[in-house]
Chains A and B, each alone.
Chain A
Amino acid sequence: MPHILSQKIRSWFIATNSAERVWMMASIEFKLRYYENKLGLMWALIKPVSQIVMYYLVFQVLMNQQVENYVIYLFVGLLLWQFFTEATSGTVKILQTKKYLYEYTNMKKIEIYLASMISSAIGLFFNLLIFIFGAIIAGVYPTYHYVFFVLIFTNLFLLSFGVSLILSNLFLLFKDITQIWGIVVGFGFFLSPILYRGDLFSSKLPLLDYLNPIAGIINNTRNILIYSQPPDWSMLMFDLTYSLIIFLIGFVLLKKYSPKASELI
């Protein structure tokens, strides 16, 4: 088994040009998203900044929530949540928008997804740099715990990938999945500890910590990036397993429905 796997990886990077192609498509998509117009990159900054100002006013000033360093606290939540929604909502229609790529038989459909996911990941990476910069200004300095973020990121990537596989293949059968997902995302924003204190969230709604994998991911990221703590390992293991199952379901759906994509759309 490891032998087959290593051969697969080898063929991906050396024998074929898949890896190169995925990266190229990801960077083209990233450019389309952010450099489309002159305001593009500015807009990418204005959006989170205005959100932070708004939430800060409501939750810290008006409701007096008393979270230390609320700005960078918010930033972590918004950053992860934005990646998740962008990666999932942005790919619901991927089998429709990228239909033009089906005509190439030596290109696998999963590459199309991967490119889009990576393009969102580049966005997350840029935001993360801004975060680190902002955190230093606020007096929170990077520690070796930041290394653990690789695990959390892998977890989030896998989860978003899985959800996007599921949604986009369901889209082939139900075109209104776009609207339905919009509602789910709307609920999800308030059912994740983005705006309010994670400990309150966990004690009042303990079930949601487990139902909503994003909750654990956000709490753990804060442990790592703000509180200089290792992640809550049992939570991390739970979320990883959760994400892996979601991904596998998505993968099965992809195998089952995507070959018919160009007929169903």
Chain B
Amino acid sequence: MENPVNSISSPVAIKVSNVNKTFQLSDIKTDTLKGKLFNLFVRGNSRKLKALQNINFNILEGENFGIIGRNGSGKSTLVKIMSGAYIPDEGGEIFRNGSSMLLNLGVGMSHELTARQNIYVSGSALGLKIKDIDNIMGHIIEFAELQDFVDSKIKYFSSGMIQRLSFSIAVHAKADIIFLDEVFAVGDAKFRAKAIDILEKSMIEKRTIIMVSHSLANIEKYCKRALYLKNGEMAFLGDSKTAIAMYNKDND
């Protein structure tokens, strides 16, 4: 399947080529030395689960790209591979152009650290110098509406607060690529509105956003292109309206 080339030929932000992902599922417990020794001669039932098969596509710089599919279709696995947390099976390759941040509940944050410490660690990991982080600290806190909790450990935060914080960091630290994995499921209406406002602006700022969501309305509204995953395979790549229509037809 070929990518439809955009009218403006921006550089590639992410290139996914020949990505397969197989998980080994075993019913005997062998992740301890004890378990390994006791089960040395036991052959457990181990089976392979092909989570992703033959995935190839490009995402261009500044694009808002959607990924849809049913539960277990491989969306989150694909996002984890694209963000570098998982590695694809041999032969698969991911090319990323720039810094990236995956936003999922609490990912990329330590619950043992305070909001301020998390901002420093994440900001630095995204490539900022400490003095740059000092400069944007106020904006991050303000956008996330956490003024009163800057020096509290985030383990005491609600999931919505954590989500706001990580989103705010990603936006202000200017991550080149932002992965949003079901981000809008939490967060109240007011914050959602702010976040969507940012999404719209990011299109202008040449930043790439990859959105995974069950909210088809959001995908349709904010993503021009989308990938429809079905049982770990690419069922459709292209115009998001068509992708959603196919998805709806399959699930009727």
User: Is residue A104 contacting chain B, with contact meaning CB distance below 8 A?
Assistant: yes
CA distance A16 to B122 in the complex (A): 15
CA distance A32 to B33 in the complex (A): 31
Is B85 in contact with A262, judged by CB distance below 8 angstroms? Answer: yes
CA distance A264 to B122 in the complex (A): 23
Is B121 in contact with A102, judged by CB distance below 8 angstroms? Answer: no
CA distance A101 to B23 in the complex (A): 23
Contact A103:B108 (CB < 8 A) given known A17-B124, A177-B33: yes
Number of residue pairs A-B, CB distance < 8 angstroms: 79
Interface centre among B107, B117, B125 (most CB of A within 10 A): B125
Choose from A32, A106, A180, A264 the contact partner of B125 (Cβ within 8 Å): A106
Choose from B31, B109, B127 the contact partner of A100 (Cβ within 8 Å): B109
Contact A262:B83 (CB < 8 A) given known A17-B129, A25-B121, A32-B112: no
Which chain B residues border A25 with CB–CB below 8 Å? 121
Which chain B residues border A180 with CB–CB below 8 Å? 33
Q: Among B95-103, B195-203, B241-249, which stretch is in contact with chain A?
A: B95-103
Choose from B23, B86, B101, B124 the contact partner of A24 (Cβ within 8 Å): B124
Which chain A residues border B101 with CB–CB below 8 Å? 103-104
Contact A103:B83 (CB < 8 A) given known A21-B124, A21-B125: yes
Which residue of chain A has its CB nearest to the CB of B125?
A104
Which chain A residues border B128 with CB–CB below 8 Å? 17
Which residue of chain A has its CB nearest to the CB of B114?
A28
B81 to chain A, nearest CB (A): 10
Is B86 in contact with A104, judged by CB distance below 8 angstroms? Answer: no
Contact A174:B84 (CB < 8 A) given known A17-B128, A28-B121: no
Is A107 in contact with B87, judged by CB distance below 8 angstroms? Answer: no
User: Is residue A147 contacting chain B, with contact meaning CB distance below 8 A?
Assistant: no
Is A174 in contact with B80, judged by CB distance below 8 angstroms? Answer: no
**Which of chain B's residues 123-180 have a Cβ closer than 8 Å to chain A?**
124-130
Contact bitstring A121-148, B, C-beta under 8 A = 1, else 0: 0000000000000000000000000000
Which residue of chain B has its CB nearest to the CB of A28?
B117
**Which of chain A's residues 53-100 have a Cβ closer than 8 Å to chain B?**
98, 100
Which residue of chain A has its CB nearest to the CB of B32?
A176
Which residue of chain B has its CB nearest to the CB of A25?
B121
Contact bitstring B73-87, A, C-beta under 8 A = 1, else 0: 000000010011111
Is B107 in contact with A24, judged by CB distance below 8 angstroms? Answer: no
Which residue of chain A has its CB nearest to the CB of B108?
A103
CA distance A173 to B29 in the complex (A): 11
Which chain B residues border A264 with CB–CB below 8 Å? 31
Which residue of chain B has its CB nearest to the CB of A104?
B125
**Which of chain B's residues 205-228 have a Cβ closer than 8 Å to chain A?**
none
Which chain B residues border A32 with CB–CB below 8 Å? 112-113
User: Is residue A6 contacting chain B, with contact meaning CB distance below 8 A?
Assistant: no
Which residue of chain A has its CB nearest to the CB of B179?
A103
B243 to chain A, nearest CB (A): 26
Which residue of chain B has its CB nearest to the CB of A31?
B117
A36 to chain B, nearest CB (A): 10
Choose from B31, B83, B84, B109 the contact partner of A175 (Cβ within 8 Å): B31
Is B129 in contact with A105, judged by CB distance below 8 angstroms? Answer: no
CA distance A259 to B130 in the complex (A): 27
Which residue of chain A has its CB nearest to the CB of B100?
A105
User: Is residue A20 contacting chain B, with contact meaning CB distance below 8 A?
Assistant: yes
Contact bitstring A13-29, B, C-beta under 8 A = 1, else 0: 00011001100110010
Which residue of chain A has its CB nearest to the CB of B107?
A103
Which chain A residues border B86 with CB–CB below 8 Å? 262-263
Is A176 in contact with B125, judged by CB distance below 8 angstroms? Answer: no
Which B residues are within 8 Å of any A CB, using their own CB?
A: 23, 31-34, 36, 80, 83-87, 96, 99-102, 106-110, 112-113, 117, 120-122, 124-130
* 7 A-B contacts (beta carbon < 8 Å): A20-B130, A100-B106, A103-B84, A103-B102, A103-B107, A175-B31, A264-B31
- Sort A-B residue pairs by CB-CB distance and give the 7 closest, nearest first: A104-B125, A105-B84, A176-B32, A174-B33, A21-B124, A103-B108, A103-B102
